[in-house]
Amino acid sequence: MPAYDPDNIFAKILRGELPCIKVYEDAAVLAFMDIMPRADGHTLVIPKAPARTIEDAAPEVLSGLIVAVQKVARAVKSGMKADGITIQQFNESAGGQVVFHLHFHVIPRWDGVALKPHTGAMADKDALIEHAARIEAAL
């Protein structure tokens, strides 16, 4: 398995070298808005501990992370008034992983509304801030 790269974009966010629109944070986890969302309210949840994939994360990191994913998922669903939630987690390039720091996608879903394609286009910052505020209010 390739080594963890401490210069990946999420590591830089954790160190404060790059900005994010934070939704939730505790001692072990950070949740923030995906800047290329597949749906309004698309949120990422990452551990603060370095881990490339789910395979190399310590069990105690995973246990705290999944509890935070559940907490954020409830807030995303409620805050965005969604009908459901899609939770995705990818490992390695062949599995669809693009940023090589363990992370979960929490994506609100509405009946009859397809996910937006992943085009690489960045979302409007003001919209992301508004979505984050709705999710934070539901926490």
Q: Which residues are catalytically annotated? A: 103
- Nearest to residue 44, comparing CAs of 94, 99, 1? 99
Distance CA 82, CA 107 (A): 9
Amino acid at 136: E
Q: Cα separation of 103 and 90, whole Å? A: 8
